[in-house]
Structure 1
Amino acid sequence: MNEWFHCNKCFLVGTNDSQFWFTSCGHIICAECKKNGNLLLGQKGICVVCSKQETSIMMVNKNMKPDLIHLFRPPKDLLIEFTSKIKTTVEFQNAHRQRFFKHIREKHNKAAKIAKAAHVEITKRVEREKNLLAERNQVRMELDSTKYYVRQLEKVLADRDQEIHRLKRKSPSFVKRTSPHLKGRAGYPSLNGNTPLSRVSFFGCTTSTPNDFANIAAGCLDNRRRNNVGGNAGTAGEFDFLSQQRAMEEVVAGGPSFIPNTPALLGLPADTSNDNNDDQTNKDLDEEQPSPDLEANELTLFTDSSPMQFKVPENLPDVPIIAINRYPFFPGFIKKVDLKQNEALMNLIKSKARQKLPYVGLFVKKNPDDKSEAVPSISHLYTVGTFAHIFEMRDHEGRMLEMILNSHRRIRILQPLEPTIDFPKGNGRRKLSGNRKANLKTKKEEIQPEEQPQEQQIDQPPEEKLIIYARTENIVDNVPTQISIEITVKMQAIVSIIREIIRDNNMMAQHVALLLQPEHSIVDNPVYLCDFVGTIAQNAETEELQAVMEEINIMRRLDLALELLEKERARVKMLKSIRESVEKKVQEQNHKYLLNEQLKAIKRELGIEKEDKQAVLERLDERLANLNVPEYAMKVIKEEQTKLSFLDPHSSEFSISRNYLDWLTSIPWGKTSEEVTDVNRAQKILEEDHYGMKDIKERILEFIAVGILKKQTNGKILCFYGPPGVGKTSIAKSIARALNREYYRFSVGGMTDVAEIKGHRRTYIGAMPGKTIQCFKKVQAENPLILIDEIDKIGGAGYHGDPASALLEVLDPEQNSNFLDHFIDVPVDLSKVLFICTANETDRIPGPVKDRMEMIEVSGYVAEEKMEIAKNFLVPKCREKCALTEENLIITNEAINTLIRSYCRESGVRNLEKHLEKIFRKAAFRIVSNEENKNEKIIVDNSNLKEFVGREKFTSERLYDVTPPGVIMGLAWTAMGGSALYIEASLARKLRPWDAHQIVNTNVTTNSPSSPPQGSLEATGHLGDVMKESMRTAYTVAKNVLGRRDPNNEFLEQAHIHVHVPEGAVPKDGPSAGCTITSALLSLATGKPAVQGISMTGEISLTGKVLPVGGIKEKIIAAKRAGVNCVVLPEENKKDYEDLADFIKKDVEIHFVDHYDQVFDLIFPNFVPTTNSS
């Protein structure tokens, strides 16, 4: 143990036998040195190494404390020992972790299996419920249909029962006559409807429902009643019964002469042919075998085994023509057609149905936008159409004819024909006389029905020359007797493609699958197969479908059918791919959702993650722990938390309550940023960012000084107003940096909604707090600097309230300590906020808002100030933006001065910055594009400045080098700064004594010829109301001054004077041009020009007093820019002039006046009155 160290005093190396001692000051000494130092065990002494007093010693051996013995052991032994311990510890912990992870995996796998089984079960259950729902809907539809049919049958049978009872009461022999006819009739309906009903064939239509049977029977009975015209056949009761009996027999027998008269079928009168005798009828009925009923969906088309067999004439050239849209009607299919417009066509079809020719021809119109049912010319139709049989027809009282058509063959239209329509006579009953009734009661002869009256043939031409009847010819397909291998291959290809389409499109599967079964002949008949392809390819163009319809050559027709199917297959595949991609995305989302829910459940089970509600509440508590929330706000938060704990996380109220709590806890209750207490540092920051702005900087430094003395800072409301581009917005950010406050800006320009300031009510969807609360959430401090920009452009009162009035509560120091936002609904303290507003014109700021702010003017810059700003701020900024250095580009001071005077004359420097950026951009382009000499240094001076910024935009503002009589230069203030304003006065027409009337101030005054003439004044130049009034005042003052200075001069009394202010497109208003207008009028009246190089400003009163005006700095700058060195100002503006910088007052001679007489003496120094009036 003692082998590796030595004595720190004599440097004796230790051995196994040597003894060493360890001092409390950290040294090792041998026994000899211990002895020499008089150090004893258990006592304190002086260390022999460092001479430290109060030193204790201990022997270095294996009995030392564990925390000291390792200091003397060899590092090798320590490394081996601790490595072994670490290895054992790691193995032990790994074994425990493996057991824990195994438990977690088993639990996760178990939960996954349970979730998977639940998912499979849910999927099966959903599919089962879907199938049950479909079956329920189907059963419900069948049940409703059956109920309807039963109700109709019960109604018919009830009517018949009443008729029989009535007949019984009238004729006692009724029972005797009825028993032979009703006895043993197979399929004949009984009165209670228990006997099965026989099927009735009508135009090939098989009816098997009780409703159809009852309606047909009713139609036959009504026909018999209407067509019977009387005779001596028997009594009325006997006639009614026998008519009913024959009608029922015709229904049961299904005779070819039967045409029902019921709205459920055709609604047409029946043909009254002679009936067979009762014996023959009974024989037919006994021999008839009832056939099984077939449902509608069991009817199969185009097969020999079809139950719908009817005989269609092979050649019927003359048929009614129906024009259809878009899709040709291929043979072998059923189509529903409604006729509403053409009454002649409907009458023709009904007439043909009465003639037992229920056939029509259907042709497609060439114009798909034509919605008519008939066309005026054959050229409007495709020549090949379809011959169809009317399967069923309903007549809606002439308003609409509803037909179900069954197509049979293709036909070609040849020529139009003039139709002949049969109109039946009335079928009303004749009233029997008394003798006739007596004869009917006494005679027992069999009643023979009267022959049907002859139908009147009426040629009724249609109102319009439309084709509704035409001659056609059948189209015979060119099919070889022996089907070739090529045809067979093409047919197999068609069938294969159809099967593929069915496989990809479930909607078409049920309709087509039955037709593609091997036992049906459609797959072996190329003609029918092509017709079938034309029917299912309904997405093809009309021309393509019509080409299949018109083609006779079977090979070419099969090729056309294949082309249609290829397009349909491509469309189906595209739809399938889209559907699969959508389904895949939905499945992925469902899978992810399922996995996430499983993961959440596992984490909640393990305690790794908590429920959403609990996590939200804990997060809110964590926020509140770092906030100093007032008691009134904490009470609201706790109540809302309690409410949230009882809500369902998936409910809408939960999200609303959580959002409200998020905003409440996001407000920095009691949190403030530490403000600067060093005035010099704040001043340095303000000077670094902005040049000039002395008033603003002094006000901010005063604000800091007050805070230092008071040891706390309260909020303040300041307003910086001035022309655009002078740095009002940018200096607010510098102030925030100088005060170490958070910065937040929002603009109220054009704002019309109060909710932007005070927030929305929480009851509205998507409600949010106002801008101040949003500011607090972002900056997380109660004492930020909030900049409200463009306050002079705030919107007025409207539908959503007045935002200017809402700002009163924010900017009022007496109210903003308890600001109440509509959304938060809890008072918030805004008294620590420093509000800074910016505006261009103070006149447009609402009065109450302006009264609550401290107004600080930010004047425009003169050329010297712009030069300093450009050199020290703008050029370095542009250089950094464009990544250029002084080695690449230099802009001379002369070039900057030219930019200021000839390109950028506005009060601010925003336009100057744009021109400088333009120079740097063009220079960067030159450097990059010049590959040969990229290191070339570009120098911009007056010689090449136009290459970078173009031609000069401004020249001298002086319109006159030498002002003539009647012209005076004035000075004006605008939102862009100061400018020179010329007033021009000229003689329009000198009035003569005999003028009848004059115009004075735009009013007509009529004078007698002998009355003295009167002068007048006309003003132009887009002037405002204030300036017009100032001009009339100046006109009066000029007359008074001229009357005193030059009594003989009556020019202003007699002349018509026109005063104009140049730049007529620019609106002008204000009273400060009063002195200038008066001087211009006097200069014109005296005929003497004013002293050259002088300009003036000031309002004039009616007595000649010169009143003060604003914008002195801008006006003096404008005078210097125009090259004027003498300016006349009102006496009361002397204090404003003295506040100006020395470089602004330099080289300008100022004359202060308080009455216009002083102005007159300045501009007309050597005035001499005239001797004669002019």
Structure 2
Amino acid sequence: MTNDIIQIPLLPLRGILVFPSMVIHLDVGRDKSVSALEKAMMEDQRIFLAAQKKVRIDDPGTEDIYRIGTVATVKQMIKLPNGTFRVLVEGKERGEIIRYVESEDEFIVEIEKLEDVRGEEHEEEALARTVLSQFEQYIKISKKIKQETLATVADIEDPGRMADIIASHLALKVREKQEILETIDVTDRLHKLLSIISNEKKVLDLEKKIGQRVRSSMEKTQKEYYLREQLKAIQKELGEKDGKSGEISQLKEEIEQSQMPEHVREAALKELSRYEKVPQSSAESAVIRNYLDWLISLPWTQKTKDNIEISQAEKILNKDHYGLEKVKERILEYLAVKKLTNSLRGPILCLVGPPGVGKTSLAKSIASAVNRKFVRISLGGVRDEAEIRGHRRTYIGAMPGRIIQGMKKAGTINPVFLLDEIDKMSNDFRGDPSAALLEVLDPEQNKNFSDHFIEETYDLSHVMFIATANNIAGIPGPLRDRMEVISIAGYTEVEKQHIAKQYLLPKQIKENGLKRSDLQIRDEALLKLIRNYTKEAGVRGLERQIAKLCRKTAKIIAAKEKKRVIITENNIEEFLGKPIFRYGLMEQEDQIGAATGLAYTTVGGDILTIEVSHYPGKGKLTLTGKLGEVMRESAQAAFSYIRSRAKELNIDPDFHEKYDIHIHVPEGAIPKDGPSAGITMATALVSALSNRKVKKEVGMTGEITLRGRVLPIGGLKEKALGAHRAGLTTIILPKDNEKDIEQIPESVREGLTFIPVKHLDEVLQHALVEEQ
């Protein structure tokens, strides 16, 4: 019954089973399987072949493999061009796995050889003849097995071996063949095989009857087919439908190859059927053809493989952009989580910041860092919902929305998709495009995005959406709620210097045909260029000025006036003319009735001097300087607070009846507004009315209530940069903004003293010069 126990490499088989005495070619590609083959070839060329219980498992465990298999000899092993191995094996005898031997590279098993259990000789002979007879009838009905096979089987004298060979030729499932392989008793094996062949014969008889019924019902269809073909030939001669049949077959083939989801494929084939029946001269024919072309050209399953190497991604981001640490850190966090889980949905990031700070180019760098396709659509000025969702096909000139167009352009289902200028969308009677974007940017809904033109749902859940905006207030609340907002503030002067030297100057030197040695810009000249010739949060204007320097240098070099141009602080005006901008500077000495406020504008931070004067009158309050409604209200609140606390502030309690007060903010042509000038106005008022000087080195920002409380503000980083540039050394800020100090660059923080305050009394204590 049993024989010796041997140790041998194991090759798991998917969807196939090898019987003893069977010679077969196998294609092997899995690493463990290749390793097992190599081990077998190095030893005695013997290998154990056992079938997997489930075909779809790519890396089977011990519980996924049948225990009874076949000991085989490897006859031949050839490496194919695609990296797999084609192996010729011959099954020798049955075997059962006793235990698995531990090995990392391949399966090694200890097996016990199994010999056939023989029954009564005459019974076996009778069963073998019956099986052979049934197999002969099966071959006649099936016509899939050659007659030569019957002759080969008939020559086999051993009933057990004959049963194995017949079983290997039958179109059975692996599970059924495994049952025969596991049947050691020859008599039982023949009984099982006889039952299987009888069942297969019944199935073939039924198939034959069904086929006859189908053929008789097809006679009418066949007739229609011939008539239709004749009609096609006539139409082709008349030039009415030339080549459409070939076009139909090509479209059908493209639909089958496009890997669409089943519901989309059914819709496409239905439209194709309509297209076949509609005359080519009909307007509807072009509409259907356009629709089919869109369905075929869209990516349904194609995706790029993410190259998730955190260090490499960090290098790419740092190479393309200086600074922006918060944004880079968020991108690297996303990549790290995706690498560990391999199932994270695409995040929806919104980069908010002034023009020219690198929001769009950062999105390109993200795509490069993760090895994805990059698609950009501009939403500036879009006011039609159909731009996002597409037009319905009932309209003339209908086409998909920009989202679907972008996916077609990308060619993959997981691109980095940039929605540029998302705050510049508007709406009118044609709908609200921002409302249409709610479905696109909702991770819970965009798996089933619906475009009016495509009609079928499209999966956007793999897309990494990045939106950009200059002003977060321009983004509707529900849309903003679906995105992770990352603020990109303006660059500091130090950062602009680095960007100019590392990125902008080399780029413009190359674009203007210069060599690196042709032009040198000294650091002090670069600082003057940044301060006096640009006034922006980003670097676009800076790049334009550097380009101007390069053009003038190119002219000098081309005219052979000089071999090299060096631009210094003294000669920069010869190239760029007189300075275009001035930046606010602190007062030279302490002033009465003038306080320095900190402002946050679209081009970064700056200082704002608020002046107050009073003269005999009847308490009239005059505000000038093109102030917005919010700043006017801040002035009224400050005025009311000072009236209520006049005695404690050493101010004449009846000042509002004796004096007219004029509050002025210089540069009256520039509109000014915002909730952060309250304490500055109050300080200037107190200074003027109490005749106390304001410290020249102090800048302040914060809103005031009627009770003197100081409320928090925004844009502290930019304001601090403006204060530092102006030469201020002390900043008074609301206590609630103390947490924002750490966002200010360390080089700026070192030169400033921050005083967090809760009440106006604290502001006055630090801002006003002490009375003698």
SS in 1 for 2:516: coil
- Displacement of 1:919 after TM fit? 0.5
Contact in 2 for aligned 1:879/1:885 (Cα 8 Å) = yes
Cα distance in 2 for residues equivalent to 1:728 and 1:769: 27
Pairing 1:947–2:577 present: no
Cα distance in 1 for residues equivalent to 2:654 and 2:585: 32
Q: Which residue of 1 aligns with 2:689?
A: 1085
TM-score (normalised: structure 1): 0.45
Contact in 1 for aligned 2:613/2:662 (Cα 8 Å) = yes
Pairing 1:819–2:449 present: yes
Letter in 1 for 2:473: D
Sort the Cα spacing of 1:1048 and 1:1030 in 2 relative to 1 into closer, same or farther, 3 A. Answer: closer
Q: From the two aligned structures, give the one with the greater strand fraction.
A: 2
What does 1:699-1098 align with in structure 2 at a 5 Å threshold? 699-796=330-427, 798-930=428-560, 936-958=563-585, 960-991=587-618, 1015-1046=619-650, 1048=652, 1050-1098=654-702
What does 1:47-86 align with in structure 2 at a 5 Å threshold? none
Sort the Cα spacing of 1:1091 and 1:935 in 2 relative to 1 into closer, same or farther, 3 A. Answer: closer
Sort the Cα spacing of 1:612 and 1:970 in 2 relative to 1 into closer, same or farther, 3 A. Answer: farther
What does 1:473-492 align with in structure 2 at a 5 Å threshold? none
Cα distance in 2 for residues equivalent to 1:769 and 1:956: 49
Q: Which residue of 2 aligns with 1:665?
A: 296
Q: Which residue of 2 aligns with 1:651?
A: 282
- Displacement of 1:1162 after TM fit? 0.8
- Displacement of 1:1165 after TM fit? 4.4
Letter in 2 for 1:858: I
Contact in 1 for aligned 2:605/2:719 (Cα 8 Å) = yes
Pairing 1:1132–2:736 present: yes
Cα distance in 1 for residues equivalent to 2:533 and 2:294: 50
Cα distance in 2 for residues equivalent to 1:630 and 1:711: 23
Sort the Cα spacing of 1:1147 and 1:921 in 2 relative to 1 into closer, same or farther, 3 A. Answer: same
Pairing 1:1147–2:751 present: yes
- Displacement of 1:983 after TM fit? 1.0
1:965-1014, CA deviations, whole angstroms, 9 ceiling, x for partnerless residues?
111010011121111111111114334xxxxxxxxxxxxxxxxxxxxxxx
Cα distance in 2 for residues equivalent to 1:1088 and 1:1126: 18
Moved more, 1055-1064 or 616-625: 616-625
Cα distance in 2 for residues equivalent to 1:639 and 1:956: 68
Letter in 1 for 2:487: E
SS in 1 for 2:349: strand
Letter in 2 for 1:617: I
| Higher RCO (C-alpha under 8 Å, 6+ residues apart) | 2
TM-score (normalised: structure 2): 0.67
- Displacement of 1:1048 after TM fit? 4.9
- Displacement of 1:654 after TM fit? 1.4
Cα distance in 2 for residues equivalent to 1:1053 and 1:617: 92
Cα distance in 1 for residues equivalent to 2:424 and 2:583: 33
- Displacement of 1:713 after TM fit? 3.5
Sort the Cα spacing of 1:898 and 1:1047 in 2 relative to 1 into closer, same or farther, 3 A. Answer: closer
Q: Which residue of 2 aligns with 1:556?
A: none
Letter in 1 for 2:505: V
Contact in 2 for aligned 1:966/1:1089 (Cα 8 Å) = yes
1:659-713, CA deviations, whole angstroms, 9 ceiling, x for partnerless residues?
0000011110111111122111111110010000011101111111111111134
Cα distance in 2 for residues equivalent to 1:1091 and 1:1109: 22
- Displacement of 1:951 after TM fit? 1.0
SS in 2 for 1:1035: helix
What does 1:415-814 align with in structure 2 at a 5 Å threshold? 611-796=242-427, 798-814=428-444
1:101-147, CA deviations, whole angstroms, 9 ceiling, x for partnerless residues?
xxxxxxxxxxxxxxxxxxxxxxxxxxxxxxxxxxxxxxxxxxxxxxx
- Displacement of 1:847 after TM fit? 1.3
1:952-977, CA deviations, whole angstroms, 9 ceiling, x for partnerless residues?
11234137433531110100111211
Contact in 1 for aligned 2:440/2:460 (Cα 8 Å) = yes
SS in 2 for 1:707: helix
SS in 1 for 2:647: helix
Contact in 2 for aligned 1:1074/1:1100 (Cα 8 Å) = yes
Q: Which residue of 2 aligns with 1:559?
A: none
SS in 2 for 1:1045: coil
1:258-316, CA deviations, whole angstroms, 9 ceiling, x for partnerless residues?
xxxxxxxxxxxxxxxxxxxxxxxxxxxxxxxxxxxxxxxxxxxxxxxxxxxxxxxxxxx
Contact in 1 for aligned 2:612/2:684 (Cα 8 Å) = yes
Q: Which residue of 1 aligns with 2:767?
A: 1163
Cα distance in 1 for residues equivalent to 2:378 and 2:286: 30
- Displacement of 1:810 after TM fit? 1.4
Contact in 2 for aligned 1:888/1:935 (Cα 8 Å) = no
Letter in 2 for 1:939: I
Structure 1: 5+ residue runs without aligned partners? 1-600, 992-1014, 1169-1174
Contact in 2 for aligned 1:612/1:649 (Cα 8 Å) = no
Cα distance in 2 for residues equivalent to 1:1028 and 1:899: 36
Letter in 2 for 1:1057: I
Sort the Cα spacing of 1:689 and 1:615 in 2 relative to 1 into closer, same or farther, 3 A. Answer: farther
1:182-217, CA deviations, whole angstroms, 9 ceiling, x for partnerless residues?
xxxxxxxxxxxxxxxxxxxxxxxxxxxxxxxxxxxx
SS in 1 for 2:591: coil
Contact in 2 for aligned 1:895/1:941 (Cα 8 Å) = yes
Q: Which residue of 1 aligns with 2:101?
A: none
Cα distance in 2 for residues equivalent to 1:706 and 1:861: 29
- Displacement of 1:1052 after TM fit? 4.1
Contact in 1 for aligned 2:490/2:537 (Cα 8 Å) = yes
SS in 2 for 1:763: coil
Letter in 1 for 2:369: A
SS in 1 for 2:525: helix
Cα distance in 1 for residues equivalent to 2:556 and 2:707: 65
Sort the Cα spacing of 1:1038 and 1:612 in 2 relative to 1 into closer, same or farther, 3 A. Answer: farther
Cα distance in 1 for residues equivalent to 2:504 and 2:534: 14
Cα distance in 2 for residues equivalent to 1:614 and 1:783: 36
Q: Which residue of 2 aligns with 1:1116?
A: 720
SS in 2 for 1:1071: coil
SS in 2 for 1:887: helix
Cα distance in 2 for residues equivalent to 1:660 and 1:1096: 62
1:503-547, CA deviations, whole angstroms, 9 ceiling, x for partnerless residues?
xxxxxxxxxxxxxxxxxxxxxxxxxxxxxxxxxxxxxxxxxxxxx
Structure 2: 5+ residue runs without aligned partners? 1-231
Letter in 2 for 1:987: H
Cα distance in 1 for residues equivalent to 2:344 and 2:255: 25
- Displacement of 1:626 after TM fit? 3.8
Contact in 2 for aligned 1:637/1:661 (Cα 8 Å) = yes
Sort the Cα spacing of 1:718 and 1:1034 in 2 relative to 1 into closer, same or farther, 3 A. Answer: same
- Displacement of 1:846 after TM fit? 1.2
SS in 2 for 1:753: coil
Sort the Cα spacing of 1:948 and 1:626 in 2 relative to 1 into closer, same or farther, 3 A. Answer: farther
Letter in 2 for 1:1018: T
Cα distance in 2 for residues equivalent to 1:764 and 1:1020: 55
Letter in 2 for 1:895: A
Aligned length: 537
Q: In terms of Rg, which structure is larger? A: 1
Cα distance in 1 for residues equivalent to 2:642 and 2:259: 72
